[in-house]
Structure 1
Amino acid sequence: MFHFDQVSLLITHYKRSKSLERLLASLQAIGCRFGEVIVSDDGSPEPHISYISELKNQYDFKFVTTPVNKGLGNNMNKGHLATSKPYVLYIQEDFLPDPLFPGELRRALQYMEADHSIDMTRFFSHSRYPYMKPFPKDPDFSLTYYAPLALKYTKIYNYSDLPHLRRHNFLEKFGHYREGIPGDRTEYWMCISYFRKKGKTLFYNDYRKLFDHENSDQEPSTMVRKSISTSNNAALTVIRHLYRHLKYNYDLFLKKM
Structure 2
Amino acid sequence: MPTEFPSITLLVTHYNRSQSLERLLQAFQKQEIEFGDIVVSDDGSKPEQVKRLKQMAPTYNFRLITAVKNGGLGNNINKGQDAVNTAYTLYVQEDFDPFAGYGEHLADALGIMDERADVDLMRFYAYFKYPYLKPYRNGFSEMVFKIWYPGYRKFHVYSDHPHLRRTSFFEKFGRYAEGLKGDRTEFLMNLSFIKKKGKAMFYEDFKGLFDQVNSNDEPSTMTATRSDLKQSNNPLIVIVRGLYRNVKHTWEVLF
**CA offsets 1:223-253 (integer angstroms, 9 cap, x no match):** 1211111111222222211211111111111
Contact 1:132 1:143 in 2 (8 A): yes
**Is contact 1:140-1:204 (8 Å) kept?**
yes
Matches within 5 A, 1:20-39: 20-39=21-40
Give the drift of 1:147.
1.2
User: Size of the alignment, in residue pairs?
Assistant: 252
String of CA shifts for 1:25-62, please: whole Å, max 9, x gaps: 11000011000000000000121000000001201111
Equivalent position of 2:178 in the other structure: 179
Partner of 1:57: 58
Structure 2 CA distance for aligned equivalents of residues 21 and 134 of structure 1: 35
SS at match of 1:96: strand
Aligned to 1:127: 128
Secondary structure, aligned partner of 1:84: coil
Q: Secondary structure at the match of 2:47?
A: coil
> Which consecutive segments of 4 or more residues in structure 1 shift more than 2 A?
none
Q: 2:198 matched to 1:213?
A: no
Given that residues 131 and 147 in structure 1 are in contact (C-alpha distance below 8 angstroms), is that contact kept between their aligned partners in structure 2? no
Q: Is 1:159–2:128 an aligned residue pair?
A: no
Task: Quote the offset at 1:15 in angstroms.
Answer: 0.4
Unaligned segments of structure 2, at least 5 residues = none
Structure 1 counterpart SS, 2:248? helix
Distance 1:237 1:131 in 2: 21
What is the TM-score when the length of structure 2 is the normalising length?
Answer: 0.97
Q: What letter matches 1:188 in structure 2?
A: F
Deviates more, 1:140-149 or 1:79-88: 140-149
> How far apart, in 1, do the equivalents of 2:184 and 2:147 lie?
22
Q: Is the 8 A contact 1:40 1:65 kept in 2?
A: yes
Structure 1: 5+ residue stretches without partners = none
Aligned to 1:235: 236
For 2:156, what is the secondary structure of its paired residue? helix
**What residue number does 2:46 align with?**
45
- Whole-Å separation in 1 of the counterparts to 2:172 and 2:212: 29
Q: Does residue 1:92 correspond to 2:93, yes or no?
A: yes
**1:10-25 to 2 correspondences below 5 Å:** 10-25=11-26
CA-based RMSD of the aligned residues comes to: 0.9
1:170 match = 169
One-letter identity of the residue aligned with 1:111:
I
Aligned-partner residue type, residue 142 of structure 2: L
- Please report how far the alpha carbon of residue 139 of structure 1 lies from its aligned counterpart in structure 2 after TM superposition: 4.7
How many Å separate the matches in 2 of 1:30 and 1:139? 20
Letter in 2 for 1:87: Y
Q: CA separation in 2, counterparts of 1:243 and 1:32?
A: 43
1:116 aligns with 2:133: no
TM-score by length of 1: 0.96
Contact 1:146 1:198 in 2 (8 A): no
SS at match of 2:202: strand
Q: Distance in 2 between matches of 1:236 and 1:207?
A: 26
Determine the C-alpha separation between the residues in 2 that align with 1:153 and 1:218: 34
8 Å CA contact 1:142, 1:205 repeated in 2: yes
